[in-house]
Structure 1
Amino acid sequence: MPTGEHDHQKGQPGFAEAALFGLCPRCSSRTLFGGVARFAPRCRVCSLDFSKFDVGDGPAAFLILIVGSLVVGLAAWLQVSVSPPFWVHALLWIPLSSILVILGLRAAKAALVLAEYRNSSGEAGRRE
């Protein structure tokens, strides 16, 4: 990697850390998110502009499919095993699905931002 390309190379977090805690890919501060799953405009510590990273909707669609498969499998198993009333399913699976998708979305978006930063990638055709 050429000198000066990533001047904070030593402070870069690992993928697991960045995904779990929403760490800035440059300085490792917990500044990546400004909302539940919305990026902050920039890092408050090192001023890295997060708006140049575009992870798109891929993580959301992928996570919904994974979480949906898991929840449907668990709900079917519970129905066959115990045969609870419908309200038990609603009480269990709606909050669990929501929590898993939101936490997974944060983790996936943080990991993709870190990957984009480390690989100096950007949108095709964009010049900086």
Structure 2
Amino acid sequence: MSEHAYPPLNTLSTGIRCRCPRCGKGPLLKGYLTIRDECPVCHLDFSFADPADGPAFFVMSGVGVIGMMAFMAFEFTVHPPIWVHMVVTLPLLALMCLSVLRPFKGWLVSEQYVHKAAPPEWQSIGKHGEGSKWR
């Protein structure tokens, strides 16, 4: 089928469910975070998808802010010993990061598809390098 035969889908819905951004049925990821080569249902090539470290950065930042607010509220109200933070708070923060990372990566890939993301192409306009008058 051609690409225009697929209706536009909600990027948040397909991203959270980690589904193909074009058909909404095929799985986007294989394993925990590895993007498939193509959709097994509509055969969309996922080579355009390269969120790199974006999901990890945004998830760690968001969970860090929320986690630190919860950490401080817990610390100031209960005053637990440090070992309680090591046993409770640290694993809880790691669990929060890992649980949000996969859907966030799916959402970023869906957004890349909708906005037709492509690798950057650089082209010289002749204002530097050979021929420069700054020698």
Task: Give the deviation of 1:5 after TM superposition.
Answer: 7.0
Within a 5 Å distance, the mapping from 1:42-121 to structure 2 comes to: 42-121=38-117
Amino acid at match of 1:110: G
Please give the alpha-carbon distance, in whole angstroms, between the structure 2 residues aligned to 1:99 and 1:5. 41
Higher relative contact order (CA 8 A, sep 6+): 2
Q: Go from structure 1 to structure 2 and tell me whether the alpha carbon gap of 1:8 and 1:113 turns closer, same or farther (over 3 Å shift).
A: farther
Q: Which residue of 1 aligns with 2:12?
A: 16
Please give the alpha-carbon distance, in whole angstroms, between the structure 1 residues aligned to 2:5 and 2:104. 22
The answer on whether the counterparts of 2:26 and 2:40 sit within 8 Å (CA) in structure 1 is: no
Structure-1-length-normalised TM-score: 0.80
The answer on whether the counterparts of 2:26 and 2:41 sit within 8 Å (CA) in structure 1 is: no
Please give the alpha-carbon distance, in whole angstroms, between the structure 1 residues aligned to 2:120 and 2:2. 20
The answer on whether the counterparts of 1:37 and 1:102 sit within 8 Å (CA) in structure 2 is: no
Q: Point out the structure with max Rg over C-alpha.
A: 2
Q: 5+ residue gaps in structure 2?
A: 123-135
Report the 3-state secondary structure (helix = DSSP H, G, I; strand = E; otherwise coil) of the residue aligned with 2:3: coil
> Which stretch has the larger CA shift, 91-100 or 109-118?
91-100
Report the 3-state secondary structure (helix = DSSP H, G, I; strand = E; otherwise coil) of the residue aligned with 2:29: coil
How many residues align? The count is: 122
Q: Which residue of 1 aligns with 2:3?
A: 6
> Which stretch has the larger CA shift, 97-106 or 41-50?
97-106
Task: Report percent identity of matched pairs.
Answer: 29
> Which stretch has the larger CA shift, 74-83 or 38-47?
38-47
Task: Give the deviation of 1:25 after TM superposition.
Answer: 0.7
The answer on whether the counterparts of 1:13 and 1:23 sit within 8 Å (CA) in structure 2 is: no
Please give the alpha-carbon distance, in whole angstroms, between the structure 2 residues aligned to 1:93 and 1:50. 37
The answer on whether the counterparts of 2:48 and 2:113 sit within 8 Å (CA) in structure 1 is: no
RMSD over equivalenced CA pairs, Å: 2.2
The answer on whether the counterparts of 2:37 and 2:45 sit within 8 Å (CA) in structure 1 is: yes
Q: 5+ residue gaps in structure 1?
A: none
Runs of 4+ in 1 over 3 A off after TM superposition: none
